[in-house]
Chain A
Amino acid sequence: MKHLLSIAAALAVLAACEREDREFRPSPVATEGEASITLSSISPGVVGLGTPRDIGKAYEENAYHLSEGKRLFNWFNCKGCHANGGGGSGPALMDDSWIYGGEFQNIAQTIREGRPNGMPSFRGKIPDEQIMQIAAYVRSMERQVHQDAAPSRDDDLMPRPSEHRLPTSPPVAGGTVPPSGQAPQ
């Protein structure tokens, strides 16, 4: 019985190993040179290191990266336009509508390269590692990441339930284009 129990416990948490990895000092090499994530099906270019989907998984399934992304989301003032995900002068991030695609690599690319109508390019301003952390966090706003990895509440006023308590929403590829995307300002 004790054996069974420990095996069950081991299986339950084995998935968590990746989830708990923390790299406090990522190798600086990774943040230089060609971005590994720029390239996706919707933009031309050369395929970088690894497939983007795998890189996304490594970030989305890791609690540390997600919480770092949440911190950086505030620190780089993403809030300024996107508020707490509900949208302001920029589109909402917590719904299932994505103008430029809602996959991890789409979001990373949006942050890195910028988009028309106001989204600036952060290439060279935010290290690649951190761009991917923010992208993973943006995915968690819609609860596209596993609950056990999604960030919990901040020690701050609570504008909405924290990411790990949101219901999972199945990803909708494409989604509908919100008004801000249909009518360029």
Chain B
Amino acid sequence: MSETVLRSPSKEALDTDVKDGELPARLAATWGTAAGLIGALSTVDHKIIGRRYIITGFFFLFLGGLAAVAIRLQLARPDNTLIGPDLYDQIFTMHGTTMMFLFGVPIGEAMAVYLVPLMVGTRNIAFPRLNAFSYYVYLFGGLMIWIAFALNIGPDNGWFSYVPLAGPEFSPGKRADFWAQMVTFTEVSALAVAVEIIITVLKLRAPGMTLDRIPLFVWAMFVNAFLIIFAMPAVMLGSTMLILDRLLDTHFFNQAEGGDPLLWQHLFWFFGHPEVYIIFLPGTAFVSAIVATFARRPVFGYSAVVLSLIATGFLSFGLWVHHMFTTGLPQLGATFFTASSMMIAIPSGIQIFCWIATLWDGKPVYRTPLLFVLGFFFIFVAGGLSGIMLASVPIDTQVHDTYFVVAHFHYVLIGGAVFPLIGAIYYWFPKFTGRMLREGLGRWHFWLALIGFNIAFFPMHISGLRGMPRRVYTYPAEMGWDALNLVSTLGATLFVASFLVFLYNVVVSSRGGEIAGDNPWDASTLEWATTSPPPPHNFDHVPFVTSRELLWAERQTLPVVAGLAVDKREVLVTTTTQALPDLKESSPDPTIWPLISAIVVTAIFIGSIFTPWAVAWGAPVASFVIIAWFWPKSTEENV
């Protein structure tokens, strides 16, 4: 057992001074969450916050799913009067908004919040109070938009809120304002988490985890965090301009006064296209982890996968205009964006082939998580192929705003994000709860989902090619779309049923599932080196990383690092590339101030929909609570 001891001149108790038997209990006392409601609301433990994030994300997935069911019921037959046009507009907007902003982005970050610190072998995420704050802001923003919807103030301009439709003239009332503020909420929380992930990956990796030993999961989440940081400000700017136009009579999008409605589309899609990859990259993270574990070998082409992740990140910012091919672009511009849209298929293809090669060369164990990954290959590749079709201007011009596009992006997003995510839940559920999900129910879930999904969405390709436009609340019988729509609705029912199986599985297994043990899948990454669920301090000793597949390389005993304080929260900061031990730094204690700050910020955001004075009066209060949050304590830092 190789052991590196970090000596320091302070008099504090270090883990080297404590008997092995006592150590876990004392560390747990230092890092634990206080009992009671205030304790629970003050916690800064990334696992507790991550778990809340994941549950909230799934809560919004189910709400968005119910909205989808309503849409499908309305479209099941022609001239249906089940849902009127006004409510239908709100429902499809809530479906898109919820799935993209309240489920797609946060759920990837939620999984990262829980798993990245464990995978890099540290005791807490960087900026843990910011983490708590971001969760509360996300929760309040999501609740706000759904409460507004329940009160008939739901947004009704589509999840992209194009002006002038969403502008002051054509969207009276407060509906679009609530949408714009919901974007602001999501933005604040997403950016906060992205910063935490980047710093955690760069500075808090366990010693020895050099850049080429970082698990692919962590790489994907790391690249994803950069995408969030560069993409999100564009939509924040856009939504702020929109709300200013609506509330304060500014003219950003008013052509008569020198504004430009197309500016909105550019700002929105400069965010909106990377957004698709923000949703997809966590999917690649899950797939890389699951494929390696169940193929029983490291992922083929580690460097190629990492480089294609980074390439995807860069390229995703260069193709937003393919959402705007019908707005009358110059030919050269359209050509450029066609080329860049087709080019992004290359890094995605490289990753797919690396995973297939891994499975080909390995000895795959077909458990539920791997089944979902196989489903991902099938669906995502089909969606990618229709994406290549849409990247070409002549085809795109024909099928623009038809159900062909709806079919395409559901194949890409559900295939690329939801299937890997469900696989990931089956895979990490034992780590989250200490219990296994039931395998039999998992197989039912998979087959129902795969078949239901394809029955629901494949016919949309055809109805789109036959001219059915998106966002219509009904259609006349003579258009010949009725059979296709009925089939889609039946498939959607099956798809929803698969999620009910999942829900049942989660509820039953979290109480009575088989006890998992530390490493039920015999996986190689660090989160499996600790107990299930992990203790508050994650690891009794910070691991020392000697190999990319650490738990497979060091099967006898795990090399560890000692010398961290026991009675105060201390994390080990390492150098960025070589991961050499650099500093011991204290990690913030729990506090209620992030929650209070989130409440104040929520009040400001919602109040500003009704009066600009909310910002003026809210700013001093916000400053006060943030000062309280950052009030320095006289703790001594060890270097």
Q: Which residues does A use to contact B, with CB under 8 Å?
A: 1, 5-6, 9-10, 12-14, 16-17, 19-22, 24, 63-64, 66-67, 148-149, 151-158, 161-162, 165
Contacts and interface: CB of A to CB of B under 8 A. Distances in A.
Interface in B159-216: 164, 167-170, 172-175
Closest 10 pairs (CB-CB, A-B): A152-B168, A63-B173, A67-B172, A63-B172, A153-B249, A154-B169, A22-B86, A156-B256, A20-B173, A157-B256
B151 A13 contact: yes
A152 B247 CA distance: 7
Contacts of A6: 143, 147
A109 to B, nearest CB: 25
A149 B173 contact: yes
A156 B253 CA distance: 10
Given A63-B172, A155-B169, 19 more contacts: A9-B147, A10-B151, A13-B151, A17-B152, A19-B173, A24-B84, A63-B173, A148-B174, A149-B172, A151-B168, A152-B247, A152-B249, A153-B245, A153-B254, A154-B168, A155-B253, A155-B254, A155-B256, A165-B248
A5 B147 CA distance: 12
Most chain A Cβ neighbours within 10 Å, of B164, B168, B170, B248 = B168
Contacts, number: 92
Given A5-B602, A66-B172, A154-B169, A148 B610 contact: yes
Contacts of B606: 9, 12
A84 to B, nearest CB: 14
Interface in B307-336: none
Contacts of A152: 168-169, 172, 246-247, 249
B431 to A, nearest CB: 29
Contacts of A156: 169, 254, 256
Contacts of B248: 165
A162 B250 CA distance: 11
Contacts of A157: 256-257
A153 B169 contact: yes
B256 A64 contact: no
Contact of B249 (A12, A17, A64, A158): A158
A161 B250 CA distance: 11
A20 B249 contact: no
Nearest to B596: A1
A105 to B, nearest CB: 23
Contact of B174 (A5, A16, A22): A16
A149 B610 CA distance: 11
B175 A20 contact: yes
A166 to B, nearest CB: 11
A162 B249 CA distance: 7
B354 interface: no
B147 A10 contact: yes
A10 B299 CA distance: 51
Q: B147, B169, B170, B255: which has the most chain A beta carbons within 10 Å?
A: B169
Interface SS, B side:
helix
B599 interface: yes
Interface residues of B, number: 37
A153 B163 CA distance: 13
A11 B232 CA distance: 32
Contacts of B255: 155
18 contacts: A1-B595, A12-B610, A13-B174, A16-B151, A17-B153, A19-B174, A20-B153, A63-B174, A152-B169, A152-B247, A153-B254, A155-B164, A155-B254, A155-B261, A158-B257, A161-B249, A162-B168, A162-B249
B560 interface: no
B85 interface: yes
B412 interface: no
B169 A24 contact: no
A152 B164 CA distance: 13
B148 interface: yes
B225 interface: no
A103 B172 CA distance: 23
Nearest to A23: B86
B144 interface: yes
Which of A5, A9, A155, A157 is packed against the most chain B CB atoms within 10 Å?
A: A155
B151 A14 contact: yes
B422 to A, nearest CB: 29
B212 to A, nearest CB: 45
Contacts of B86: 22, 24
A21 B147 contact: no
